[in-house]
A and B are shown apart, each in its own frame.
Chain A
Amino acid sequence: MPRGRSPILELHQITKAFGGVEALRGVDFALSAGEIHGLVGENGAGKSTLMKIIAGVHAEFSGGFVLDGRETRFRSVRDALAAGIAMVHQELSVVPDLSVAENVFLGAQPTNRLGFVQWRRMAREAGEQLRRFGIDVDPLARLGDLPIGLQQLIEIARVLSSGARIIILDEPTSALSPPEVERLFTTLRRLRDAGTGIVFISHFIEDILRVSDEVTVFRNGRKVAEADAATTTKAALIEAMIGKGREALEETYTDAIRLPSSGDQPAVLNASGLSLARSLRDVSFDARAGEVLGIYGFMGCGQSELARILFGKLRPDRGTLTVGGERKSFRSTADARRAGIAFVPESRRAMLFHQEPVYKNISISILHRISSLFLKPQQERVVAARQVEQLQIRPPTVELDLGMLSGGNQQKVALAKWLSYPPRVLVLCEPTRGMDVGAKNEVIHIIRELRARGLAIIVLSTEPETVLSLADRIIVLKRGAVVHEFSDQSISKDRLLEAA
């Protein structure tokens, strides 16, 4: 353990507000060389904000920022990079239209003396760098064609091999499979032993405990606890995160749970023989009223394509969709919406209007029910306010621009837009990804309530916990095909992982 070293980075009494909402209040933070520092806290607790200050994303804040014993102010990410600080953001920041190699060398392409880019050298070195992380891809492939998990790994690899002496990772493991996480941790430990200071933010507390030396807990814009990772426990951290007097809410699903026997509810949606290029092969299933169907599989198994076919964004090459007994061929997402299908994609950015107030975000999908020709903004606000109250969206106002809400609350807004007039089928991609324990449980609760109201719900996820906590029936996708179906039986996380 690297104890007693003097910190390379010290922050004193950092305070930062966004449009009157205080995200950080008087936070102290220190990082030493050769240390992996874990950060935990609920969504909106201020972890990401603090890290963005360190990485030069937020240039305006009050408080002291001391790097190598000298008071420093970064005006931009560029300044931070020049000082050896690099960050992997929660949202991918890669360029999908460039090749893998160009992404790895983004902003630092190798050139010859005349200033021309050395393409072959770049491709070769990019390939070597990625192989060191166990990633075997064609460096000339277009990055956007790769699965999201792989894109995330490539971005991490880029930052880790940048030579930065302070590396910040914000939720780096959310899209990774277990062996990929293991490889990442091995690399992090190697970098730590070489003297790099690493900050690791995650909602997976087991991961934090496994890889960190120190753990800091944030709640509500303040630092509430600091602990030695070797001596603290998951329960203690969760208690610090969510406040005293709350039992640990998260289940680990290491024990088997019992799936209910599927009753004789009618099938609301039937997919038969869906195929799409290289992504999906002959996928068939039913979604029944009052039931949650879980679709589980590793990253890149064809889940996101399947969800987009259900919502009319992609058209299958073969196969049929039947909704409520009627055969459908969606030509647009509007067709799918009219057929009673609602969709929440895995990325909040793709679902919400950040520069518009909350009420417009909530009313957009049901506007045709509220008004025919002219808008009725008052009624929109009433509908939105009811959702904000029911889903306990914070802060409880419908006028704030959506961009000012925390991630978890944005996710609730993404759900809220469909709930004022519930659809027949609700398709949810990764409904709890990147959420803290409290918000996760709230979303789980909301989904169960909707099930009780008779909706057919389809949950697609790459996290076994998500599927196990929600689904009444589970199908497993592997390389675009259904390989297993679990219903009316006992199942544990191990069995599920094994099936995929």
Chain B
Amino acid sequence: MVTDDGATISAADRKQPRSIGATLRSQMRNIAPFLTLILLSGFFALASPSFATLDNVGNILTQVSVTGIIAVGLTFVILCAEIDLSIASIANVTGIAVAYFTLQESYVNIANIPLPGWAAILLALALCAMLGVVNALGLTIIGVPSFIMTLAMMQIAAGISALLVRGQIAYKIPGIVATLGSSSIGGIPWIVIVAALMLLAGHVVLTYTRFGRYVYMVGGNREAAEYSGLNVNLILGSVMVISAVCSGIGGMLGVAHFGSAQQNEFDTYLLDSIAAVVVGGTSLFGGRGGIGNTIVGLFVLGVLNNGLDHVNIDSFLKILIRGVILLAALVINVYAQRLRAKVAE
């Protein structure tokens, strides 16, 4: 082997710690959302005495739980530099399906198929998984961009929902779903526990498993992943199915939480879930971010939504404020990507 002369080696060996500025810049994507969260919390705590109470913290946790469950799967998708616009529709149709297979009160006028609770849950899960598989096949085998594929799926899932309930509202769902969605244990709502466990599971999979590494690598450089011998299509397909199943679970618990299953019940969750993931700092270009970011993003959104209700402002202005803060977070997201690319150059 050829060795370089002494000067070269000593220069290369000199491991200089990166300057603090460079480290900060490369961590911008993680720091900015966290600062936003602290600033927002501080602001609302000062502005309203009812905001910083233990009760209200519980409220915020409960309010972000359904979004959190859906956002777990979406984080996988966005890390792969894809998008899933069908999450809210799939959540809705899964929630409706689980009610559809449950015996309803006689005044509910739905031609449904009552089954035992476990069968209803399994069928609902199978439905959302199947819709995820359709997304996956469209994206990988046919090659439809995920943006378009899941846009179509959004309509398809909404269509199935409409056919199942036909404008009616169903109320009964299997007992275990009702418990997890709407009751508490030791003062902690089950739905918060489920959301926390799913976020934890997502984090473990992404950070500590081989599949998780593949997700990051496919998002980081898809061509290189392919030339490294990874089955890129299998990984992309898997994240679409994971996203659909997380949405389905969120949908079932959401129905329990709201106390009813009906059309268009989850419409706001599409934007909220995407916002939570992106505001948290997960890169829309793939390969950067994770569940930790999503959790911070969830709290930023939760604190914002909840806090605006505690301060006395025009309720129509709140929508605009939410939009402006989302825009700011997106700008930071893109800016952080650029800074990092510069540091790595």
Contacts and interface: CB of A to CB of B under 8 A. Distances in A.
Contacts of A352: 221, 224
A337 B220 CA distance: 20
A12 B11 CA distance: 22
Interface stretch (A62-70, A100-108, A253-261, A364-372): A364-372
Nearest to B212: A375
B268 interface: no
A355 B345 contact: no
A365 B224 CA distance: 10
Contact of B233 (A22, A244, A332, A403): A332
Contacts of A356: 216-217, 220
Given A334-B230, A351-B224, A394-B9, A20 B19 contact: yes
A364 B230 contact: yes
Contacts, number: 128
Nearest to A446: B1
B344 A397 contact: no
A441 B4 CA distance: 12
Contacts of B227: 311, 313, 333, 343, 345, 350-351
A220 B11 contact: yes
A50 B209 CA distance: 42
Contacts of A371: 210
Contacts of A396: 12-13
A354 B15 contact: no
Contacts of B213: 360, 364, 367, 375
Nearest to B342: A60
Interface residues of B, number: 46
A442 interface: yes
A397 B345 contact: no
Interface in B218-257: 220-221, 223-234
Given A19-B18, A220-B7, A367 B224 contact: no
Contacts of A334: 229-231, 234
A21 B343 CA distance: 12
A365 B217 CA distance: 11
Contacts of A342: 229
A392 B228 CA distance: 22
A356 B214 CA distance: 12
Given A365-B228, A403-B345, A438 B234 contact: no
B54 to A, nearest CB: 37
Interface in B1-58: 1-5, 7-9, 11-13, 15-19, 22
B238 to A, nearest CB: 13
A26 to B, nearest CB: 13
B287 interface: yes
A404 interface: yes
A313 B223 CA distance: 10
B229 A354 contact: no
A441 B22 CA distance: 35
B15 A368 contact: no
Nearest to A355: B344
A132 to B, nearest CB: 35
Contacts of A404: 344
Contacts of A438: 2, 4
Contacts of A345: 227
Interface in A366-404: 367-368, 371-375, 392, 394-397, 401, 403-404
A445 B13 CA distance: 23
Given A352-B221, A355-B220, A373 B209 contact: yes
A245 to B, nearest CB: 8
A56 interface: no
6 contacts: A20-B18, A365-B229, A375-B212, A392-B1, A394-B9, A403-B344
Given A338-B229, A395-B13, 7 more contacts: A242-B4, A242-B5, A351-B224, A352-B224, A354-B344, A364-B228, A371-B210
